[in-house]
């Protein structure tokens, strides 16, 4: 069975929706902390196996992962030490379950010196543990979600200001639903070669270019206004309601953007899916259509 962890999350939902187009629901095993959610119950009603699993309760993982042959471990969202502990518990359980191929959602630029704290302290050590595990693997290094651009779209359009900490260097993004397709494609495949994929749009964009794309799409003037990386966490907490414990660690991500660490464009997405990922303009058109 094809295992997707964290089944109620946004990325997981997209992966599962794509899997349901690729394989029989009976081949899909979804784990979640809340199997009674509407989403989980709907999946179960469609014939997907849904089980309770919580990386913070390792005793739940063995029974939940039993029967999985290929597994996508979706990284969680917590403080860094907790996230790493959760990832390692998930990996341990995947190995114990006899899974043949593991997939993990990492972040672009993962390495020991990566500027984003969560990349250095969570994704990179998780990648290292996967490589050392002896399992075959696909590491999915995701670019920044394009959704980050539209997290406060109403305010951006109302004020005509895209307030971001983007520096002068271009940065690449990718739509979360595109990542759902690529993860499902690898998961539903049979390949067991070890791969590290950089999943990005086909070009990168400066803050000014992102603002221009917003103006073009929504027919309103939008300009980019720089927020210093150090001030970005407070902005996220105030405007997006992100708890300070999580927003604090976004400083490193902003510094990485300013340093040009995300000016990295790859064609890995096309190689895996046979399609181009959405461009920024196409992504924004989709957002506009969904707003009605
Ligand atoms: N590339 C980027 O720009 C970017 C941006 C934001 C986040 N991310 C990362 O990508 C991941 C997926 O993004 P998303 O938008 O789907 O996030 P999301 O909707 O917030 O989902 C969070 C995920 O974490 C799982 N989770 C949380 N605590 C868990 C635990 N104790 N045990 C097992 N699973 C747990 C949830 O599963 P259940 O609720 O079903 O248990 C859910 O799948 C995030 O968790 C984060 O690591 C990347």
Average pLDDT over the chain reads 96
Question: Distance between CA 42 and CA 240 in Å, rounded?
Answer: 29
pLDDT at 207: 96
pLDDT digits (tens, 9 = 90+) for 202-219: 999 999 999 999 999 999
Question: Rounded to whole angstroms, how far apart are CA atoms 40 and 43?
Answer: 5
Best substitution site from 8, 11, 78 to test ligand 1's pocket, by max atoms within 8 Å of Cβ? 11
Between CA 87 and CA 127 the distance in angstroms is 10
Can you name the CATH fold of 2-143+176-199+266-277? Answer: Rossmann fold (3.40.50)
Residue closest by Cα to atom 6 of ligand 1: 145
What are the tokens at 275?
């399609």
Residue spans of the domains in the chain: they are 2-143+176-199+266-277
Distance CA 160, CA 122 (A): 36
Pocket test for ligand 1, best of 5, 6, 17, 86 (most atoms within 8 A of CB): 6
Atom of ligand 1 nearest to the CA of 55: 32
Check residue 62 and give left, alpha or beta (phi > 0: left; psi -120 to 50: alpha).
alpha
Spell out which residues line ligand 1, taking CB within 6 angstroms: 5-12, 32-33, 54-56, 74-77, 86, 105, 107, 142, 144-145, 148, 176
pLDDT at residue number 292: 85
- Residue 184 Cα to chain centre, angstroms: 13
Segments of the chain with pLDDT less than 70: none
pLDDT of residue 249: 82
* Residue of minimum CA distance from atom 21 in ligand 1: 9
Q: What is the pLDDT of residues 120-146, one digit of tens each?
A: 999 999 999 999 999 999 999 999 999
* Residue having the nearest C-alpha atom to atom 13 of ligand 1: 11
Among 165, 148, 155, 145, which residue's Cα sits nearest to residue 218? 155
Distances in Å between the alpha carbon of 261 and those of 114, 148, 205, 235, 282? 8, 17, 13, 22, 24
Rounded to an integer, what distance in angstroms lies between the CA atom of residue 148 and that of residue 154? Answer: 13
pLDDT digits (tens, 9 = 90+) for 178-190: 999 999 999 999 9
């Amino acid at each position: 069975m094809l295992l997707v962890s964290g089944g109620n999350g946004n990325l997981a939902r997209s992966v599962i929706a794509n899997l349901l187009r690729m394989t029989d629901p009976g081949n899909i095993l979804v784990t979640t902390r809340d199997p009674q959610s509407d989403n989980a119950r709907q999946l179960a009603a469609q014939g997907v196996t849904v089980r309770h699993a919580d990386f913070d309760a390792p005793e739940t993982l063995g029974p939940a992962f039993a029967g999985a042959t290929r597994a996508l471990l979706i990284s969680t969202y917590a403080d860094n030490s907790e996230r790493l502990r959760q990832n390692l518990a998930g990996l341990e359980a995947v190995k114990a379950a006899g899974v043949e191929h593991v997939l993990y959602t990492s972040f672009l630029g993962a390495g020991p010196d990566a500027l984003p704290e969560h990349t250095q302290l969570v994704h990179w050590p998780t990648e290292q543990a996967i490589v050392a595990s002896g399992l075959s693997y696909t590491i999915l290094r995701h670019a920044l979600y394009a959704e980050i651009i539209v997290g406060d779209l109403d305010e951006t359009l109302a004020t005509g200001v895209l307030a971001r900490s983007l520096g002068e260097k271009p940065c690449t993004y990718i739509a979360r639903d595109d990542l759902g397709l690529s993860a499902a494609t690898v998961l539903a495949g049979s390949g067991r070669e070890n791969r590290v994929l950089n999943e990005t749009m086909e070009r990168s964009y400066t803050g000014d270019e992102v603002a221009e794309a917003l103006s073009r799409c929504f027919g309103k003037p939008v300009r980019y206004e720089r927020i210093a990386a150090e001030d970005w966490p407070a902005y996220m907490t105030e405007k997006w309601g992100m708890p300070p414990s999580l927003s604090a660690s976004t400083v490193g991500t902003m510094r990485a953007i300013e340093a040009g660490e995300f000016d990295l464009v790859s064609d890995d997405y096309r190689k895996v899916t046979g399609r181009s990922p959405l461009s920024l303009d196409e992504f924004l058109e989709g957002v506009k259509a969904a707003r009605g």
